[in-house]
Each structure stands twice: as structure tokens, then as C-alpha cells.
Chains A and B, each alone.
Chain A
Amino acid sequence: MTAVIGKAQSLRDAYGHALLELGEKDPLLVAMDADLSGSTRTILFGQKFPDRFFDVGVMEPTMMSIAAGLALQGRTVYASTFAVFAAGQAYNFVRQSICYNRANVKIVATHGGLLVGADGGTHQIVEDIGLMRGLPGMTVIVPADAPTTRAATFAVAERDGPAYVRLTRENLPTVTDGSFQIGKAAELRSGSDLTIVAVGALVARALEVAEELAKVGVSTRVLDFASVKPFDEPALLRAARETGALLVLEEHSVLTGVGALVASTTSENYPVPVRRVGVPDVFGESGEPWALLDRFGMSKERIRNEAWELLRLRGKVQ
């Protein structure tokens, strides 16, 4: 099985339209934003349901506590802003008002990672997956494309409790059929020599590298790990057993992200060589979004090199 890399689409548009549909279905649903409703696309909901939309201005921490207060009265609340504000600025409000209270708030954060681009390192949060996945009771989803974004927006509504969905500012190639399920990894490409576990913007790169490797006879499995928490441990350990080496790609700090999750899970259950490709322990900087991925160690060349290194470690190549 081999996934096709389709045309690039906006994850934020997919979210905005899905949220609008949810608003039509659920008359109690409330959406919130913190002065970024055009960028996050919550404005689509706001224009249709002005009474149920609260743009609170630049007060991200309090957006989270107000969202929790609304949610505790039996509502599903979607709260959106950029990831650096949602996970960073508002962290302890997400922790106490939402997670500690088990409030049914769905944080859909746009502009995660380096692909924010020109705004620079202040706004390029590469720590959010780690922060959010460390919160008890939090569901964490990192969609790779628009169809998964749409499916995830609906899926978190069905699941009671807090959720964090991390979206990318840039349009991303469509790589899934949108059959996303919470707790399931999607095997986008089957393979037996090596597995690439990827999230978000790097899933398409994983497929590209896998295709190149196939041309020289290397069979690479690709897992889209959009459901970071809960995560598909059986699929991960199956990949460890069946392919013997794991390469993790994420547009996030390698210290606390999906690479750390994969390495700790496999080392406890089925140790195999793991390589983490992501952002090293540094802040980002201004630049063209895709050039930043190359600059900070997520180039296709680097991914290929890590793949070969893993194959060498497993004795599959000289």
C-alpha cells in the first residue's frame, strides 16, 4: 500500500469549515478566539453564530478559564489561537482551569512549529506537543493534512474531555483519506526494512523519502502518528518488531515530542534503534517556512541519512 501525495490544502480552512458544521449540529457549542479569528478561521463560526462566539481579545490565559467555565455547564467549547499562545502563554490555565477541572474544551491551535516562518522564533513554538501531552487527561492530535484536520475536529467533539489539536500555518499536501481515528496510527505506506513515524508537516516528507528509498530497494513503512495521545502503542510495537528500526520525524523539539515518546515506549517494551529528526534544543528564527525545516535539521537529505544510518545499524546495508 502506498499513499499518494495530493495537492496542498489549508488545515486552517478545514478546521474553520468543520467547526461551522459542528455549530450547526450542536446548538450549545461555543467557539472562542483571542484576536486571531481570521487567521485561525474561527471567524467562519463567528459570522454564522455571533451569539455563541466570543473573541476575547489578547487574553489567552483567560480565554482558557472562561472556556472552562462555559464547558462545565455542559457545553462543548472550541478555543483557538496560535499554538505559542495556547500552549505557552496560557499553559497553567490549560492545566488547571481545563485539565484539572476535566472541562470539555477543545483547543485548536494554529501556527504550531517552525512553519510559522517570517514571524520568527518568538512565535515558532516547538515545545507545545510535549507540554500538552504531559497534561493528565489531555488528548493531543497533530494532523498531517486537511482531511485529517477535518476528521480530528469532529473526533475530539465526540470524545468527552480536553483536547489539543495542533495545526500548521502552511498549506500541506494531502496524504490521508481523512479516516482519522483517535488512538490509531494510520499506515500510509507498508514496508519491512524500516519504519518512519511522522506527524504534521513531516508526514509528506516521510512519504517522499520512502519513495526514494524504494527505488534503491529499501522497503519503508510510514506511520502517520496524528493521534499523539492517546497513541497507537500496538502499531508502534508492531513496527518495531516487524521492521526493526524507527525513524521519527516531527516539526517539534526532539527533547519532549513524538520522538521522545517513541524512544521511551520502544525501549520499555521492544528496544530497537530509534532516530529522532526534529528541532534540536534551540529556538527558531525568521525565514521562508520550508527553508527553516531544512535549516533546522529536517531536510530530506538529513532524513535520508538517518534512514541509512538505521539500516546500517540493523546490518541491512553495508
Chain B
Amino acid sequence: MPESTPAELIRSLESTAREIRQEVIRMTYAAQSGHPGGSLSVTDLVTALVFHELKIDPARIDWPDRDRLVLSKGHASPALYAALALRGFLPREELASFRQLGSRLQGHVDRTKLPCIEASTGCLGQGIGMAVGMALDARLRGAPYRTYAILGDGECQAGPTWEALMAGGHYRLSNLVAILDRNGLETDGSTESIMGIEPIAEKFRAFRYHTVEIDGHDFSQILGALAEARRTTEGPTAIIARTVKGKGVSFMEGKYQYHGKPPNKAEAEQALAELARGSEARP
């Protein structure tokens, strides 16, 4: 990454995120399946990680000291695939193969098919545990790499999520960052009407996480929280990122119905037009 001033960096990340969102729409439209809502909510977090925070190198995907990113909410795969493609880990054209027979881009991320994926996830409550294992490995080796896990808020209803978080806190894994995409919605509706997870920040604090609450669409806050996590040495950090499901596409924003429903042709065209206008508005 070239050196840039914070303002330039943030403009660059915003521009990249808009491109990623467009790819999310193209991929889920082409596949006529997938999870656009949660992919759009997590896009800015993924962008900040893949394009700024993570020490990763497309030319050395097995670099032992690379930072590890685990997408515990594996259904947000379109956002991660698009980010990795734009970052040079896979050809951008390959995104068109999402969810197709024979593709490396499985519905939920799969490390055995796409080697730049650190952990295959999909069934919830497991990626965070694998991330704890990775952070323990780094500690045992004295390796410098850091591990980042992105969780969904519906996933916070799963008991094993808290088992794994408990372990991260117990082992005081300061090299572990748990990032919650708190978009408030799950498949059947709002988390708080289905099985409330609030007060979520207090829960993370009770599990011994240095807990930061941010607007998950504000890059200066995202970068600030990630930097704060790096400075936190006494234990793991939790970043609770308040986000909007379907962010960037007017008719998807705040709509749980787009958790697992792809856009139809007219919707895809409108979404791409809106996202493109966003690009023009901020050159």
C-alpha cells in the first residue's frame, strides 16, 4: 500500500468499499442466491482489514507471519471474495463463478478450495473458536501475526460463540480481535425481537474483552478501533461495529428480507446505479 494521508486513505477505502458492494450485487444477482444484506453491512469492516490493517501479501499466501482473518459469519462470503479479488488474491473475473458448480467461491468460504481463506466457515459459532486456536498458535510460537474474527450478531445467539469468546478472554489473547457486525437483523427479523443479545458490549466486557463501540461504516472510527486493538496488550479486543444491513442500497437497508435473498434484475440494476452514483458523488 502506498503511503497516504489519513484523509486520502479514507477516501481510497470508501472508493474500494463501493466497488466491493457493486461486486456483492453482481455476484448474488448472477448466482440468484447468497446473502447480500450481511455482505453489504460488513463491507466497510472487511475493506479496512484487507486493504489497510492486515499484514497480508497476495504473492505469499502461505507467509507464516501473515495476519489471519476468519470470517466466522461465513455467509458474508461475497464481501470477502470481492475484497480479496480487488486486493489481488484471485482474478476479479472469477467472482462471476460464485456459487457455481466447480467454483472455488463456495456459498460459504472454503479454505480447501480457495487457499487464501484461513478457515472454512458457514455453520455459525465455529470461526471464532478457530480464530482462538490461531491466536494460541501465534502465542506458543512467539509469532508476530494477529488474528481477526468477524462475527455476525445472529451468531451471538449461539452458545459456542460464547465458549470461544470465553476462551479468548481466559487466555488473555491480546493478539485476537473479535469484530461484531452488529447490523441488528437476522434471517427471521430483528435480533432483539427474536432472541435479544443486548446489552452486547457489556457481555463482551464481562468476557474480559477490551470493548470498543463504533459506527461500522465510518472508516476513521474503524481504523481507530483497529489501532486501539493493536495497542491493547492485556487481553483480546472486541470491536462492536454498529452497521446497517444492506448498507449502500436504499431498498435493502434495514430489511431483514435481504439476509438471504438475492436481487432480481430490476433490483440489481437499481442497486448498481445507486452504488455508482455514490462513486460519482465522492470522486
- Name A's B-contacting residues (CB within 8 A): 30, 51-52, 54, 56, 59, 61-62, 64-73, 75, 92-93, 95-97, 100-102
- B222-237 with Cβ < 8 A to chain A: none
B121 close to A (CB within 8 Å): yes
Q: Which of B110, B126, B141 is A65 in contact with, Cβ under 8 Å?
A: B126
Which residues from chain A contact B119 at a C-beta distance below 8 Å? 68-69, 72, 97, 101
Interface string of B126-149 (1 = CB under 8 A from A): 111111111111101100000000
Contact stretch, chosen from B13-21, B32-40, B159-167, B192-200: B159-167
Question: Closest CB-CB distance, A82 to chain B, in whole Å?
Answer: 17
Contact (Cβ within 8 A) A59 B120: no
Contact (Cβ within 8 A) A101 B112: yes
Question: Closest CB-CB distance, B38 to chain A, in whole Å?
Answer: 19
Closest to A97 in B: B126
Contact (Cβ within 8 A) B120 A96: yes
Q: List 19 A-B contacts (CB under 8 A).
A: A59-B163, A61-B163, A62-B129, A62-B164, A64-B129, A65-B128, A65-B132, A65-B160, A66-B164, A68-B119, A68-B133, A69-B131, A69-B133, A69-B137, A71-B133, A73-B134, A73-B138, A93-B129, A97-B129
Contact (Cβ within 8 A) A97 B167: no
Which residues from chain B contact A64 at a C-beta distance below 8 Å? 129
Classify the secondary structure of B's interface with A: helix
Which residues from chain B contact A72 at a C-beta distance below 8 Å? 111, 118-119, 130, 133-134
With a 10 A CB-CB cut-off, give which of B118, B133, B138 has the most chain A CB atoms: B133
Classify the secondary structure of A's interface with B: helix
Q: Given A65-B129, A97-B126, is A75 in contact with B137 using a C-beta cutoff of 8 Å?
A: yes
Which residues from chain B contact A62 at a C-beta distance below 8 Å? 129, 132, 160, 163-164, 167
Question: Closest CB-CB distance, B207 to chain A, in whole Å?
Answer: 13
Which residues from chain A contact B131 at a C-beta distance below 8 Å? 69
Which residues from chain A contact B276 at a C-beta distance below 8 Å? none
Alpha-carbon separation in the docked complex, A61 to B163 (Å): 9
B123 close to A (CB within 8 Å): yes
B125 close to A (CB within 8 Å): yes
| Total residue contacts A-B, CB cutoff 8 A | 96
- Name B's A-contacting residues (CB within 8 A): 70, 110-112, 118-123, 125-138, 140-141, 160, 163-164, 166-167
Closest to A71 in B: B133
Closest to B118 in A: A72
Q: Given A59-B163, A96-B120, is A65 in contact with B130 using a C-beta cutoff of 8 Å?
A: yes
Alpha-carbon separation in the docked complex, A198 to B131 (Å): 40
Alpha-carbon separation in the docked complex, A30 to B140 (Å): 10
Which residues from chain A contact B167 at a C-beta distance below 8 Å? 56, 59, 62, 66
Q: Given A61-B125, A96-B120, A96-B126, is A66 in contact with B133 using a C-beta cutoff of 8 Å?
A: yes
Which residues from chain A contact B129 at a C-beta distance below 8 Å? 61-62, 64-66, 68-69, 93, 97
Which residues from chain A contact B135 at a C-beta distance below 8 Å? 69
Those 3 A-B pairs whose CB atoms lie nearest each other, nearest first: A69-B133, A65-B129, A69-B130
Contact (Cβ within 8 A) A70 B137: yes
With a 10 A CB-CB cut-off, give which of B125, B129, B141, B160 has the most chain A CB atoms: B129
Question: Closest CB-CB distance, B140 to chain A, in whole Å?
Answer: 7
Alpha-carbon separation in the docked complex, A96 to B125 (Å): 11
Alpha-carbon separation in the docked complex, A56 to B169 (Å): 12
Alpha-carbon separation in the docked complex, A59 to B126 (Å): 12
Contact (Cβ within 8 A) B133 A92: no
Q: Which of A61, A68, A75, A101 is B160 in contact with, Cβ under 8 Å?
A: A61
Which residues from chain B contact A96 at a C-beta distance below 8 Å? 120-123, 126
Alpha-carbon separation in the docked complex, A64 to B166 (Å): 15
Contact (Cβ within 8 A) A67 B133: yes
Which residues from chain B contact A71 at a C-beta distance below 8 Å? 133
With a 10 A CB-CB cut-off, give which of A51, A66, A71 has the most chain B CB atoms: A66
Which residues from chain B contact A68 at a C-beta distance below 8 Å? 119, 129-130, 133
Alpha-carbon separation in the docked complex, A51 to B140 (Å): 8
Closest to A95 in B: B123
Closest to A67 in B: B133
Contact (Cβ within 8 A) B140 A101: no
Closest to A30 in B: B140
Alpha-carbon separation in the docked complex, A30 to B138 (Å): 13
Contact (Cβ within 8 A) A93 B160: yes
